[in-house]
Structure 1
Amino acid sequence: MPLDELPDWLPAWCLDQLGREPADVLFRSQQVSMVFGLRLAGGRNVVVKARADDGRAASCVAAQAWLAERGFPCARPLTPVVGVGALAVHAEEFRPGGEVLHGDSPDVAVRCAELFARLMAELAGVIVAPPLPNPSWVRWDETGAGTWPAIDFLDALDQSVVSGHIVEAAERARARLLAGGLPCVLGHADFEAQNLRWQGRQVWTVHDWDSLAWQPEAALVGAASGSFASAGPPTLAPIASSEAFLAAYQDFRGRLFTPAELEVAWAAGVWMAAYNAREMALFAGPPAGGDALRAQAAERLRRANA
């Protein structure tokens, strides 16, 4: 990406917040956030992230900074969140390297569960305002919502392409989640292979701290148990691997879930998978996640008592 194609506000923002203007663009990506990898004048590499300012960003960045200071493997924020028009913007260190861990076997699930348990244990010590509203893919509790959280650009699309089994699974899982009555905690809500980098058996970096959420621990663990293997388009791990993830998480955290918490965990995995399958259907994306949900929904919902 040429420098002259950067957003007009970005060079001046870098000069003001980081002391140098961009000299080169290392990469650019855009999903929920715009992410720019930049080499500043003088040679320093940084990452600048900008997303719609919905009030979540300051808590997410503060939690990330706290973890980085304690040595958790994540990029260290270099600036606080700064408003730029309707955007919330911050910079963090450039932390390249590491490899994606591919696979959805129970062995891979246990490795990922150990990391998730470590992550959740660290976040338990963070004191920030809850990062609300929650990311849409774990926002099953939106006040006044129907099956899905209200998202204009998704709701405007042709909903008839979403299979009935996806909607049914989401409705049943959501009902169980809303009946849970469990306290909320801070947790990572996008725990997918694509957001993790490993060096051998050691984790190198956990990415996507924009996706912190305020939901029950069991629900966050359940969502992660279904999504951990997603290295590209979202998929759903095999039931045996989700089961291994849940068991290993409890072992590493040193606390057994109650029967009700386990039901909530299984329900959360279903709801997140259904949300992702709906989005893939609306955009004519890969059907793997929806196919896996169709094959697994009955058993997962049985375990959820949904």
Structure 2
Amino acid sequence: MDDLPTWLAGWCVDHLGAEPAGVLFERRSISAVFGLRLIGGRDVVVKAREDDGRAVSCLAAQARLAERGFPCPRPITPVTTIDALAVHAEEYQPGGEVLLGDSPDIAVRYATVFARLMAELADVTVAPPLPNPRWLRWDHTDDGLWPAIDFLDEKDQSVVPAFVVDTAERLRKRLLAADLPCVLGHGDYEAQNLRWHGSEVWAVHDWDSLAWQPEAALAGAASGAFANSSTPFLPPVESSAAFLTAYQDLRGRRLTAEEQEIAWAASLWTAVHNARWEALHGDPPVSGEDVREQAAERLRRANA
């Protein structure tokens, strides 16, 4: 309790009617996420992140899916602003297990949920949640290859391997050349953000990371990231292919030749973002080695 932000107790009183009595969990990354037990016994999750103008649209879409019975936490407050933070609360939805693995069979299970998710979002109308999450922001208008991110840009860029930069340049050129409509989709579709009960999905989390990109790009990015847990990596090419095939089957529409290429380009973009991150932070080059090993084939399929 002593480690909670000073504003949190008062916010809970104002918006939830009670102070926190205990902490169920706490996670800090791009967002700060607090699982709290309030006085009176109610369990909630409070999320706070830098207010970049995306939160209202993301929360509205999450609320629509929860109302329809999609397995995701239901928001219980609107977005409010505390200093430079966008803050809201949602239901605590505990339980379920992370589904680990990167085989084609596992890929198909993840594709099944992603296809359902995208179908549900297809008729949700919200203001586009822009700017896109930084790992899907190849459409930025900043100078240079990468989107402007101060805490990354201030580091020594020369440590990023040349093959990572070259791959990113080829991918971004291909992605920006596409003339495809943008749609709403989950932009951080990783194993760590889903929970399962056996073969059934129990909860999809991290709706703060909705994105506004072509459907093929969103499906492609998911096909390259679905297996990520604590350490991001690329699944085998055949697993991404199985994901994309299953996704098309379930959506009842085949991707065009251009969409196929964009899907494969996007499947590799998040990995080059992660490889740059690893290099700038001196982390083991897990994604970097995956990019080295798989870039040629994924670039070929992307026509990049």
TM-score where L is the length of structure 1: 0.98
Q: Distance in 2 between matches of 1:302 and 1:133?
A: 29
User: 2:203 matched to 1:205?
Assistant: yes
Q: Which residue of 1 aligns with 2:227?
A: 229
Does the alignment pair 1:88 with 2:81? no
Which AA in structure 2 matches 1:187?
G
- 8 A contact 2:142–2:148 mirrored in 1: no
Q: How does 1:66-215 map to 2 (within 5 A)?
A: 66-215=64-213
CA-based RMSD? 0.8
Instruction: Give the counterpart letter for 2:105 in structure 1.
Output: D
Matched, 1:279 2:277: yes
Answering whether residue 269 of structure 2 is matched by residue 268 of structure 1, we say: no
1:285 is displaced (CA, Å) by 2.1
Are 1:233 and 1:286, in contact at CA under 8 Å, matched by a contact in 2?
no
Amino acid at match of 2:78: P
- Segments of structure 1 that go 5 or more residues without pairing to the other structure are none
- Between the aligned partners of 1:119 and 1:253, the Cα distance in structure 2 is 10
Deviation at 1:286, TM superposition (A): 3.1
SS in 2 for 1:204: strand
Q: TM-score, normalised by structure 2?
A: 0.99
Matched, 1:255 2:245: no
Distance 1:293 1:98 in 2: 32
Query: What are the superposed Cα offsets for residues 266-306 of structure 1, whole Å, 9 maximum, x if unpaired?
Result: 11111111001111221122322111111000110010000
- 3-state SS, counterpart of residue 74 of structure 1: coil
1:144 Cα deviation after fit: 3.5
SS where residue 5 of structure 1 aligns? coil
Give the SS at the match of 2:2: helix
Aligned with 2:254: secondary structure? coil
Structure 1 stretches of at least 4 aligned residues deviating more than 2 Å after TM superposition: none
Q: Equivalents in 1 of 2:238, 2:143: separation in Å?
A: 32
After superposition, give the CA deviation of every residue in 1:39-59 in whole Å (9 maximum; x if it has no partner). Answer: 000010100000011100000
Conservation of the 8 A alpha-carbon contact between 2:279 and 2:285: yes
- Could you say which residue in structure 2 is the equivalent of 1:220? 218
Partners of 1:51 and 1:88 within 8 A in 2: yes
Identity between Structure 1 and Structure 2 (%): 69
Q: Any idea what the Cα deviations from partners look like across 1:236-274, whole Å, max 9, x if unmatched?
A: 111000011111100000000000000000111111110
Alignment of 1:23-42 (within 5 A): 23-42=21-40
Name stretches of at least 5 consecutive residues in structure 2 with no aligned partner.
none
Give the letter for the 2:258 counterpart: A
Letter in 2 for 1:99: E
CA distance in 1, matches of 2:174, 2:143: 15
Match of residue 240 from structure 1: 238
Which residue type is aligned with residue 51 of structure 2?
D
CA drift of 1:160 comes to: 1.8
Moved more, 154-163 or 180-189: 154-163
Structure 2 CA distance for aligned equivalents of residues 66 and 104 of structure 1: 30
In the other structure, the counterpart of 2:17 is 19
